[in-house]
Amino acid sequence: MIELLVNKKKYRFEVDPETPLLWVLREELGLQGTKYSCGIGECGACVVHVNGEATRSCVVPVSEVKGKEITTIEGLTGLVSEALREAWIEGDVPQCGFCQPGQIMTAAELLASNPRPSDSDIDDAMSGVLCRCGSYNEIRKAIHQAAGRLRP
The residues binding ligand FES (CB under 6 A) are: 36-39, 41-46, 56, 58, 94-100, 131-133, 135
Please state, in angstroms and rounded to a whole number, the distance separating the CA atoms of residues 72 and 81.
12
Contacts of 56 (CB under 8 A, 6+ apart): 41, 44, 46, 47
Smallest distance, Å, CB 93 to ligand FES? 8
CA distances from 105 to 2, 4, 12, 16, 22 (A): 24, 19, 25, 26, 14
Query: From the CB of 65, what's the least distance to ligand FES, in Å?
Result: 14
Task: Supply the minimum distance, in Å, between the C-beta of residue 151 and ligand FES.
Answer: 27
* 58 vs 73 by CB, closer to ligand FES: 58
User: Torsions phi, psi of 14, nearest 5?
Assistant: -90, 130
Which one, 94 or 117, has the nearer CB to ligand FES?
94
Smallest gap from Cβ 15 to ligand FES, in A, equals 18
104 versus 131: smaller Cβ distance to ligand FES: 131
Yes or no: say if 92 and 145 are a contact pair by the CB < 8 Å rule. no
Q: Name which of 11 and 36 has its Cβ closer to ligand FES.
A: 36
Q: Alpha-carbon torsion 140, 145, 150, 152, what sign?
A: positive
